[in-house]
Structure 1
Amino acid sequence: MFLEIMAPAYPFCFTMIVSISNLAKCIVSVAGGATRAALTVHQARRNNMADVSAKDGSQETLVNLAGLLVSLLMLPLVSGYASLSLGCFFLFTALHIYANYRAVRALVMETLNESRLELVLKQFLQRGKMLNPTAANQLEPLWTGFWPSVSLSLGVPLHRLISSVSELQRLVEGHQQPYLLSWNRTRNQVQVVLSPTAGPEAILRAAIHGLLFGALQEDGLLPRELAELRPLVRAGPEKNNWVLIRETHQVMDKLFPMFLKGLKAVGWKTDKHHLEVDEWRATWPGAAEKKDL
């Protein structure tokens, strides 16, 4: 909108400015549509998504109509005063952004995304307490620039993890989970291959397993089973990765059931999530047949 306002002041590149403005509107439209769909699903507590969407559309239409009437009243007052027009634009834009900020802060999502999961997991590992949805949503950062302690990629193709059958055997060794995991220490990146049978709880376990490597690199308090693995993390050589992954699988066998029980106890929904999961799936010998482990 600001570009459209400024476009007449630069007639030599008017077309380019307006084109960039329309491109920005398209990007915002896609992002806004995706966000609105997620919020509509969140608000449809009785599986009444169509009803919630219809009421949301009705309210937006009413607000747009009220805005049109106000703008018709204000237009004669600001016409011919460029500085006054820009002042009104910046004022109402600031109010609009602030209102959106307050609205998002008021939301309490009971499903876990990566940032909420990391906050809850850190609190559980360091203090033995479970953050409820309200507390975790208040702590979740809204702005870009929030970098997790480890880069987590779920649902990657199998060839990113292994290059030989022997590597696959080492990854599969010692567990029956419907996912395979690898940690690249140089890039601080955890990549997870998922089985076709991996359900929401199995994906949640894989995400927690990946985030454990970030917790192992930090100096905070950890349960004894995890604290004992810190020497392996700080040893450095990549050859220790296979041992570390096998050991963390054993820790997860004890940790995950308690963590999952705690999540349900404080009101988190574990039958679905907002974790970013790619569509790649792979099958390997010995993969668990259960959908949720």
Structure 2
Amino acid sequence: METQNAFTIYEQDNSGRNIKIYDISFAENRTQNADVSRDLLLQTRLILPPFSKETRYKHYPMDFKNACGCLYASWLSELYYFNYQLFDSLQAFSSSIAGLLASRAVLEGVGVGDANATATNALLITITQDAISRLATILFAWRIGTALEPEAKRYRLLADIFNDTSMILDCLSPALPKSVRIFTLCISSAFRALCGVAAGGAKAALSVHFARANNIGDLNAKDSSQETVIGLLGMLAGSFIVARVTTSTSTWSLLFLLLFIHIMTNYLAVRSVTMLALNRQRATIVYSNFRATRSILDPIQTSKKEYVFARGGKLHDSMGGYIGQCKVEKSIQRLLLDDTTVIPQLLHILSREKYILSFMVHSGTAQLQICLRDDATSADHLKAWIHATELAHRVEERKTVYCSNKDMLDMIDEVYQNISEIFPVFFEGLKTKGWDVGCDFILTKQVNRFRITGSSRSSESKKDI
């Protein structure tokens, strides 16, 4: 007796696409002696995407559709990730060619082709450049290290501006007197070091942002392989171009063209990134819109409104108008020096919170200061920033030109009562819209916290702090 059986197996790649289909069928023949013989037929069908897609996927991290931080449709995730990688590859390609022009200029600057130059002089110049570069790395990392993750988009673009400045100085060096040339090469090395710090920190932050499926190692490996491919192509193209670009006019014309492409593609790359954590600028944008419309912007809507080089401490209304300035103070000493008499009242008004804030009015806008307690969390940081933003709105709406200590305390208290009511609703709305409220991106520098022991007296009551 013969029995027919058939089934199909689908094989998928990491992105969930069917790449092979196995059609399996077999017939079983049973004899009178209960012996069973099987005739197996296996057919394999290949389903391959176009070559361009197949090549692209090899340089994507595993499960990239869920790894790019997009909480919407899978096709949007793919487009979102691809756009960033496309512009990043274009900027790296143009930078590779421009780098060869700069390298040629540096070799000329240290004496290659000059019969009077010595290897020792070239070595000393290199050592000096390296020393300046290391010092610049240490100082810059100490100065802006904390801001690299909250302001990753800004510093990613700023890194390439530093790098391009370095290339311009390198290409300029052969035309300068020898004493000035060495100084110029040292400044160039410092800019290149600044680029390394800013690009390294911002790139790490973006890698963490893109890695949404526990695949940061795979993501970095694929990103490195992509950079290797682009760097190789840029080097090959650059070798062909540099050999044919020999005059000063053609060199500078090509250099500025490449640097323009480099900056523009990098700008488009960072603009295509939608961050899911609220830094100071994004928090201001989202809250100002919530205040005006009672609706919360999602990350994609917010990314279209934010500026790459906006100062995070500036506060704006929903229409983009400037309404004030706020900063998280490094030390509470600043508030104590401004006016010690208001500190007990501030502590009383904000006794339930893990921050205090104060402000003054300058030219009709609020200048706000925030100090944090030692046990303040990321949610407390966000609430303090929203409190400050609402105060700036009130000062702007009331057209305040002068504010006494009593008026300031009354306004802080009034706004605090309002913020205490709406912040829980606002905070839950952020989660619903896909914001990562667990990330602490309000702080962009290291600050000292304060802790209070004893009690604070007001004119009406006494409370333990």
- For this structure pair, what is the TM-score category when the shorter chain's length is used for normalisation? 0.7 to 0.9
CA distance in 2, matches of 1:71, 1:235: 62
> 1 CA distance for matches of 2:249 and 2:332?
59
- 1:121 aligned to which of 287, 297, 300: 287
> In the alignment, what sits opposite 1:283?
451
Q: Does 1:152 align with 2:152?
A: no
Judging by fraction of residues, say which structure has more helix: 1
Q: Deviations over 1:254-293 (max 9, x none)?
A: 1211211221121111111322253311112579xxxxxx
* Matched residue SS, 2:368: strand
Structure 1, residues 133-177: CA drift from partner, whole Å, max 9, x if none?
A: 101101101235684333222253222223687533201213401
Q: Per-residue deviation at 1:51?
A: 2.5
1:106-145 to 2 correspondences below 5 Å: 106-144=272-310
Corresponding residue for 1:206? 384
Matches within 5 A, 1:48-67: 48-67=215-234
Task: Give a deviation string over 1:117-142, Cα, whole Å, max 9, x none.
Answer: 11111111112121111011011012
Any gaps of 5 or more consecutive residues in structure 1? 220-229, 288-293
Which runs of 5 or more residues in structure 2 are unaligned? Answer: 1-166, 316-322, 457-465
Matched with 1:256 is: 423
- Larger mean CA deviation between 151-160 and 69-78 belongs to 151-160
Tell me how far apart the structure 1 counterparts of residues 253 and 349 of structure 2 sit (CA, whole Å): 66
* 1:167 maps to 2:342: yes
Deviation at 1:235, TM superposition (A): 5.8
Q: Does 1:96 align with 2:271?
A: no
| 114-123 or 158-167: bigger deviation | 158-167
Pairing partner for 1:2 from 168, 171, 194: 168
Residue aligning to 1:177? 353
Match of 1:238 in 2: 405
2:202 pairs with one of 26, 30, 35 = 35
Q: Does the Cα contact within 8 Å between 2:370 and 2:384 map onto a contact in 1?
A: yes
The alpha carbon displacement at 1:42 in A equals 0.5
Shift of 1:21: 1.1
Q: CA deviation at 1:85?
A: 1.8
> What displacement does 1:188 show?
3.4
Alpha carbons 2:361, 2:402 under 8 Å: kept: no
- Count of aligned pairs: 275
Q: Structure 1 CA distance, aligned partners of 2:340 and 2:248?
A: 70
Conservation of the 8 A alpha-carbon contact between 1:185 and 1:238: no
How far, CA to CA, are the matches of 1:144 and 1:251 in structure 2? 28
Q: Return the letter of the residue paired with 2:344.
A: Q
Displacement of 1:61 = 2.0
Q: In the TM superposition, what is the alpha-carbon distance from 1:205 to its structure 2 partner?
A: 0.3
Shift of 1:200: 0.9
Kept after mapping to 2: 8 A contact 1:110/1:269: yes
Assess if the C-alpha contact under 8 Å between 2:360 and 2:403 holds in 1: no
Change (3 A) 1:101 1:5: same
Name the aligned partner's letter for residue 281 of structure 1.
Answer: R
Q: Distance in 2 between matches of 1:252 and 1:283?
A: 23
Counterpart CA distance in 2 for 1:150 and 1:169 is 25
Structure number with the bigger relative contact order (C-alpha 8 A, sep ≥ 6) is: 1
* Contact kept in structure 2, 1:156 and 1:191, CA below 8 Å: no
The residue type equivalent to 1:162 in the other structure is L
Q: Deviations over 1:241-265 (max 9, x none)?
A: 1121122211111121121122112
Alpha-carbon distance between aligned partners in 1 of 2:402 and 2:259, rounded to the nearest angstrom: 52
Give the residue type in structure 2 aligned to 1:173: H
TM-score (norm 2): 0.55
Aligned to 1:197: 375
Displacement of 1:108 in angstroms is 0.5
Range with greater deviation from structure 2 (237-246 or 23-32) = 237-246
Q: Secondary structure at the match of 2:336?
A: coil
Structure having the higher Rg: 2
CA distance in 1, matches of 2:255, 2:310: 25
Letter in 2 for 1:174: I
Amino acid of the residue matched to residue 153 of structure 1? K
Counterpart for residue 76 of structure 1: 243
Shift of 1:209: 0.8
> Residue 206 and residue 257 in structure 1: after superposition, are their counterparts in 2 closer, same or farther (change >3 A)?
same
Stretch of structure 1 that moved more, 250-259 or 46-55: 46-55
Counterpart secondary structure, 2:359: strand
Tell me, yes or no, if structure 1 residue 215 matches structure 2 residue 393.
Answer: yes
**Greater CA deviation, 167-176 or 254-263?**
167-176
Amino acid at match of 1:77: R
Aligned residues of 2:361 and 2:401 also touching (Cα < 8 A): no
Same amino acid, percent of matched pairs:
28
Report if the CA contact (8 A) 1:111-1:270 is conserved. Answer: yes
